[in-house]
Chains A and B, each alone.
Chain A
Amino acid sequence: MQINLLDRVRLGIAVFAAKTITETIRTFKLGAASVLPGTIGKRLHPQILAMLSQQIKHGVIIVAGTNGKTTTSLLLRDILEKDGWKVVHNEAGANLVNGLITTLLEKTSLTGKLKADFGILEVDENVIPLVIPQLKPKYVIALNLFRDQLDRYGEVDTITYRWGKAIAELDCDTILVTNGDDPALAHLGQQLATGDKPKQVKYFGLSEPELYLDEIPHAVDSIYCPSCGTALEYKGVYLSHQGDFDCPKCDFTKSKLSIDSKEWPQVLIGVYNKYNTLAAVTTMESIGISKPIILNAISNFQAAFGRSEEVMYKGKKVRILLTKNPASMNETIRAISQVNQAGSESVSLMLLNDRTPDGTDVSWIWDVDTEKFVNAGGTIVVSGDRVYDMALRLEYSKTDLNSGANIIVKEDLKEAIDTAIKLTAPNQILHIIPTYSAMLDVREILTGKKIL
């Protein structure tokens, strides 16, 4: 992108001001430096996001989706760095406009020069249409779309439509890496591959029918054909509404997947992390990174905070598995059940909060299929702002009131953790399933450190 002199001067002033302020915030510990510099930078130069991102040599990779953005971005970054590239990445998870600008500013010199080979930006679902025209990404990764916080995000249909509209405007060399097992996102890919400005589209997904679920979970969103509205037919479902589908009425069906999932190991645990891995692999293969480098990054992968992160506490191994919505809680308890299968008495700690980052409505827990998990036995300790709501959900999962998991209610978080730790056998892992703000709280207690 050509930057004229006047713009360059204005950009320099904006960058200088925003960066100086960041330093001040850091020095005097005035609070979250992850968004404020972006706010200031944008004030001083409205085009700052475009002018910074377009200096990134090989372009920006946008990571979008309801679940898995952080883990996928981290894996992409690991792979690129192992291959020797310089990466800028919004690792603090600030995924709204000002957070993106702040991330880029950190790697920008005082004269407004940004030196990086790749930008990896995880972007909030709602913000995608807004930033795509400015970021002009080379790659857009569409991981999945689940029902999240309906009050905040609106409907899944609307989001897909707005993503499609924004991506359609990009140049033809844009590559969309989309979830081929997700009907709405597969349809998005098929639409963008045609039209005036056809895009290159790569599909990732599973080809392992042995992983099919016994039944479609209750919390599914799009089981209707995105093209004609008829109920889709599924040969099998891997996760939520993702699976091997076909429309009985029109010609909408799955596209060919770009890679064979059986040929790749995964990071962390759970089928959802298999998808995250495959999304990263598909993108990296398309960039031309060699298989040994990718495999190396996968086998040495360290979880992002709270995302299947493992820590030691009072001599016991603890795994923190952030859950945000019915789809992620379904998958989390499925992954835990698989880990527990071999073991004896399992212990889990479930934490439900209802602060703004969690969503103020906790109704969604009734869309989670907790029945198998509870009736398998073991101990479930419950805490959080809405501890009794969570406990009620678990209680109502019991086929027989006198059997199933032992549910222990602890209003106080510290007490809940200590109880769960005490009950965990030395050779066992304590699984903690928190909502977002509860994850920050629990992590602070376990590690003694605050994030931000």
Chain B
Amino acid sequence: MTLELKIGWLYPTLMSTYGDRGNVIALQQRAQWRGIKVEVIPFDVNSHPDSIHQIDMMAGGGAQDRQQEIVMRDLAGAKAEAIKAKLDAGAPGVFTCGSPQLLGRFYEPGLGERIEGMGIIDLESKHPGIDVPRCTGNVVFEITAKRLAAELTELLGGKKPIIVGFENHGGRTYLGPNAEALGTVIKGFGNNATDGTEGAFYCNAIATYSHGPLIPKNPFIADWMIKTALQDKYQTEINLAPLDDSLADRARAAMLKRLEISD
């Protein structure tokens, strides 16, 4: 039997600011290279809210201000409900760069009015003002969200799940009492540059400021998403064939060495 995987890509033209497509490419390729049939389904302004039900996992990136507004207007109502229902049902998701702000309750920009989010995760984001420096640079954090950390550690043969990425955000995100942080910052700013948390984990959705191509350099995220989605879809244990990840290992090692962090 050929396994099939449908990846929903949220607003590919509006929400792909800085290499966010890398996550979709990596998810797609890591499934295809293992003989899994993949379909990437764009979910955008022309999509019907119900079309989200057919997908097995979703990915979203960051938007520039004008594009973010178009997205927020379009998401209000039925589309937000469809996405929430899908995530609540356990579909894996990866939301990078600005898209975690969409999942939260609201975002207050440096200039202009508060933008309401989908309210799926108990978090809020505020821009401290346009004169306050942005949080920009290479970032390293350990995934500490309990269930995810345990599953990833198993996937990694006992190693801690350490993410190596890049962040570039003006807004600061604060988690509410009902939100679980994705991880703990080792190097960089994280959610708000003060409390040491990074991102959020909700059902099987990963939300992080680590923007752009998160997955190519942290491929265990992709394998966990693919495995989780397929197990849920086919209701059977899935074991993915190993891939040669030596390039990703060396890319990670090079950055950790530069940042003087021991792996």
Q: From B22, B33, B66, B254, give the contact of A388 (CB < 8 A).
A: B254
Instruction: Determine if A167 is an interface residue (Cβ-Cβ < 8 Å).
Output: no
Residue in B closest to A156 when the chains form the complex, CB atoms: B64
Q: How far is the CA of A150 from the CA of B64 in the complex (A)?
A: 9
Given contacts A157-B66, A396-B29, contact A366 B254 (CB under 8 A): no
Q: Is the CB of B19 within 8 A of A363?
A: yes
Instruction: Determine if B86 is an interface residue (Cβ-Cβ < 8 Å).
Output: no
Q: Is the interface of B mostly helix, strand, loop or mixed?
A: mixed
Instruction: Determine if A401 is an interface residue (Cβ-Cβ < 8 Å).
Output: yes
Q: Is the CB of A151 within 8 A of B251?
A: no
CB under 8 Å from chain B, chain A span 375-405: 386-389, 391-393, 395-396, 398, 401
User: Closest CB-CB distance, B194 to chain A, in whole Å?
Assistant: 21
Q: Is the CB of A366 within 8 A of B22?
A: yes
User: Closest CB-CB distance, B112 to chain A, in whole Å?
Assistant: 13
Q: From A364, A387, A401, give the contact of B33 (CB < 8 A).
A: A401
User: Closest CB-CB distance, A230 to chain B, in whole Å?
Assistant: 11
Given contacts A366-B21, A396-B25, contact A155 B213 (CB under 8 A): no
Q: Is the CB of B136 within 8 A of A151?
A: yes
Q: How far is the CA of A256 from the CA of B26 in the complex (A)?
A: 43
Instruction: Determine if A220 is an interface residue (Cβ-Cβ < 8 Å).
Output: yes
Given contacts A157-B66, A361-B168, A392-B217, contact A367 B247 (CB under 8 A): no
Residue in B closest to A365 when the chains form the complex, CB atoms: B19
Residue in A closest to B12 when the chains form the complex, CB atoms: A218
User: Closest CB-CB distance, A203 to chain B, in whole Å?
Assistant: 25
Interface magnitude class on chain A: 20 to 34
Interface string of A358-374 (1 = CB under 8 A from B): 00111111110000000
* B16 CB contacts on chain A under 8 angstroms: 218, 367
Q: From A155, A157, A363, give the contact of B212 (CB < 8 A).
A: A363
* B25 CB contacts on chain A under 8 angstroms: 366, 396
Residue in A closest to B248 when the chains form the complex, CB atoms: A392
Given contacts A155-B64, A388-B250, A389-B251, contact A367 B21 (CB under 8 A): yes
Q: Is the CB of A388 within 8 A of B247?
A: yes
Q: Is the CB of A150 within 8 A of B13?
A: no
Residue in B closest to A149 when the chains form the complex, CB atoms: B18
User: Closest CB-CB distance, A395 to chain B, in whole Å?
Assistant: 6
* B33 CB contacts on chain A under 8 angstroms: 401
Instruction: Determine if B17 is an interface residue (Cβ-Cβ < 8 Å).
Output: yes
Given contacts A366-B19, A389-B217, A396-B25, contact A151 B247 (CB under 8 A): no
Instruction: Determine if A223 is an interface residue (Cβ-Cβ < 8 Å).
Output: yes
Q: From B136, B168, B247, give the contact of A392 (CB < 8 A).
A: B247
Residue in A closest to B168 when the chains form the complex, CB atoms: A151
Q: Is the CB of A366 within 8 A of B66?
A: no
Residues of chain B whose beta carbon lies under 8 Å from any beta carbon of chain A: 13, 16-22, 25-26, 29, 33, 64-66, 70, 134, 136-138, 166, 168, 211-213, 216-217, 244, 247-248, 250-251, 254
| Top 4 A-B pairs, shortest CB-CB distance | A363-B212, A363-B19, A366-B22, A388-B251
| 10 A-B pairs whose Cβ atoms sit less than 8 Å apart in the complex | A218-B21, A229-B70, A361-B166, A363-B213, A366-B19, A366-B20, A388-B251, A389-B217, A391-B251, A392-B216
Additional pairs, 6, CB under 8 Å, beyond known A151-B134, A151-B136: A363-B20, A366-B21, A366-B25, A366-B216, A392-B248, A401-B244
